[in-house]
Amino acid sequence: MSPTVRPRRRLLAALAVLTGLGLVVASPASAGTLYQETYRPQFHFTPDRNWMNDPNGLIWYKGRYHLFFQYNPSGNTWGNMSWGHAVSTDLVHWKQLPVAIPQDDEEMVFSGSVVLDRNNTSGFGTKADPALVAVYTSLVKSTGVQRQSLAYSTDGGTTWTKYSGNPVLDLGSANFRDPKVFWYAPTHSWLMAVALSDQHRISFYRSTDLRHWSHLSDFGPAGATGGVWECPDLFPLPVDGDAKKTKWVLAVNLNPGAVAGGSGAQYFVGDFDGTKFTADDSGTYTAPSGTVMQDFESGSYANWAASGSAFGGAPATGAVDGQSAVTGYGGQGFADSFHGGDATTGTLTSPPFTVNSDYINFRVGGGNHPYRPGSVLGDEPTPAGETLADFEGGTYSSPVGDWTATGDAFGTGPAQGTLPDQQQVSGYLGHGLVNSYLHGDAATGTLTSPAFTIDKKYLDFLIGGGYHGVSSDAPTAVELVVDGKVVRSATGANSEALDWTSWDLSDLRGKQARIEVVDGNTGGWGHIDLDQVVLSDTRAQPRSAETGVNLLVDGEIVRSATGSDSENLDWASFGTTAYKGKKAQLQIVDANTGGWGHVLADDFTAADKPALSVPQRAHWLDHGQDFYAANTFNDAPGGRRVMIAWMNSWNYGQTIPTSPWRSADTFPRQLALRTVDGTTQLVQQPVGELKTLRGAGADVPATTVTDGTTPLAVRGGVLELQARLTAGTADRFGLDVRTGGGRRTRIGYDTTTGEVYLDRTASGATDFDPSFSSTEHARLALDGKPLSLHILVDASSVEVYAENAAGRQVVLTDQIFPDPAATGVDLFADNGTATLNRLRAWQLASIWK
């Protein structure tokens, strides 16, 4: 792993006892007890304290599974990378041991693997008492160079000695890491798979002694390449349980650019001859044919209407002035809003047309700035009403009195725009604004308004700065305080572009209130911006900052797509079955003036089947947000292949609201290859040892739900669920877990798109990072047959194994941070009926007790 290419942003378990068919929640243990803190997983491995990321060095040896992991012995964020260590006899109950391989003054100890040198090829042990040998990436602190080094243990993995001849493999590269090593019997040699991360290549090396390595071949680029490649793994598996029919699996972790947008793990099935890996999937792709609506080949925009200056007077035929090379478009012409650079804006809109196909396919590229529902193009006028503050004076005076500042973040009066060393601030009105970056992010303080009477429906204001909500230990937020309680709050979006936010205060009319601007954060984005606070009967709408393609039906945006911060155009698709016969328009929008503030589009085609993007066509181990650095155990007994991944994401990993530890691993999964519809697919299941945690099972009888939600006779915060559901007439159906207090995590199936989805937008605490609130999707055709779900629910995670009747499987893993009291399980259906044919539930015991 490498922090230089990863973004650096910054449980109480509700135990249950069975009663009849329901799992009834017992009283939670007091917060703060080790392994029983709020959000502490109860059957997933976590270190007792401090930061953890990649699992590595996985090996079974003398009856124990050894789990090594990237670990910071000194803190709860990334740094001081060393190898932590835990052991288990059953893959379920783990005992944490002292740090195995610590960093030192010269190097940090990045990811790698451990092998048992049975034949003492390295000379570190003896044939009678062979050594365990760790092959790890050494980050040279003084240069940033990443090279491969060795450490060895002659006492079963308890203590380790770094090899005096390190490094054993050095290319002088800062992107050469994460070696996975194993013994390859046909050539009586060691093989290494290691990532050339920024080149999207996996290099294979051979050694007879673990000390001297020779290059064999490279694989890649292939599959998804939207981020760096890391943590490779290569292993054989029988197909359909037939030991005479073996395929090889190459797992490659990717950050960012995974199917869910951030960190993820893809895999390739193919053949390995001891020198070279060849994937079965060549990666070639032809989009479905259909009726061309616009391909920009005429040399003009024809009857598409352009506004603004971003799209120029005609389609581009290559990169325009100041733009990097553009790839992935069809033919000669395409729409490109980089005319004049990222600072320009505009739209390109098709004439109205009648929808007559199931899909509209197109290519899209450029900036990753999605459409936000409710946002509007252009600048709205300030809402009419009573201005509580516009911050245009030299002090914090206002029409309702003086605002009071504490601390050193806000100074004695409003800032006049951007402060020293701050990124450009935009979106405020006039000359002044509240800006707590006065002394940089390290400063803290509060700014409190005088009391005022709420006599209008809305409070509108412009806000920017850091995204650290009130549930954070160190918020950057604007709060509304009534009767001494915070009743509304808002935060920035890790952006210096202020945008409108509006609070509906209908239920608070007539009450006295104060506004408190809070900067309690000293880390990255540890400041808050505020301007133009207005009591109004008009709700302010946020400004659009999108770069993308929209489908409008009856003037409303019903589908949208955006680029991936790339000058390469990739396929996208809008499902339009529900809009057949209706009038619609396509609109290409550039409303963004910042980095990657442009959009590329081409080849709009009405078709009967969807076009698939490269990430959609890639093969993913998991479609969730929180599955990364996946790796398997060497030497697992019985030839079984068991995988564990880091259950976190580099998008927000360092800001998840856990303490005194940060990060968990996924529950171990056993892997197999299965033939489905003529192709070989990797399938996964929780290891069978999970059953040792089960309490008595609870069966829920068949239940039908219509247009709503039905609570089930199951409750618990730490659960295993096995369910089978049938759609009926519903557009969407499924199960909600961790429900209560208006919160839920939704595991659903969308019959209109043919996708399983995992929705954590209402799961609990989500305000610690703007990218956390999300819904993940995975295509899985049901063909009118039931959906099978195997769900693992822990104090801060949900893992979903979904399968159709043909045996095709998708898996989705997400972290959640629910209220410990939210322990319900519900059945739901939208716009029709659905049936729960079967549900069996188990309370799972804590592995820490």
Distances (CA, A) of 255 to 5, 7, 631: 9, 9, 15
Helix, strand, coil percentages for the chain (3-state, nearest 5): 5, 50, 50
**Which tokens is 385 given?**
């009403």
pLDDT tens track for 87-126: 999 999 999 999 999 999 999 999 999 999 999 999 999 9
Confidence of residue 34 (pLDDT cuts 50, 70, 90): confident
Q: 401-457 pLDDT, tens per residue?
A: 999 999 999 999 999 999 999 999 999 999 999 999 999 999 999 999 999 999 999
Structure tokens at 554: 């009856």
- Mean per-residue pLDDT for 522-527? 94
Whether residue 529 contacts residue 498, with contact meaning beta carbons closer than 8 Å, is answered with yes
pLDDT confidence of residue 26: 28
Spatial distance between the Cα atoms of 1 and 417, rounded to a whole number of angstroms: 39
> What φ, ψ does residue 229 adopt, rounded to 5°?
-90, 140
797-830 pLDDT per residue, tens: 999 999 999 999 999 999 999 999 999 999 999 9
Give the chain's mean pLDDT: 94
Least confident of 29-33, 44-48, 666-670: 29-33
- How many percent of the chain have pLDDT more than 90? 94
d(CA 41, CA 39): 6
- Spatial separation of the C-alpha atoms in residues 296 and 331, rounded to whole Å: 9
Q: What is the mean pLDDT of residues 480-494?
A: 96
- Closest C-alpha to 768, from 39, 33, 6: 39
**What is the pLDDT at residue 792?**
98
Segment holding 794, helix H or strand E? strand 787-794
Mean pLDDT of 487-495: 95
Which residue numbers are catalytic? 54
Those residues with Cβ within 8 angstroms of residue 38's Cβ, 6 or more apart along the chain or in another chain = 11, 12, 31, 795, 820
Q: What is the mean pLDDT of residues 193-216?
A: 98
Q: What was the pLDDT predicted at 247?
A: 98
At 32 the pLDDT is: 56
Q: How far apart are CA 205 and CA 218, in angstroms?
A: 9
DSSP string, 546-607: -EEEEEEETTEEEEEEE--SEEEEEEEEEE-GGGTTSEEEEEEEE---STT--EEEEEEEEE
Instruction: List pLDDT tens digits, range 156-178.
Output: 999 999 999 999 999 999 999 99
Six token digits for residue 433: 């604004």
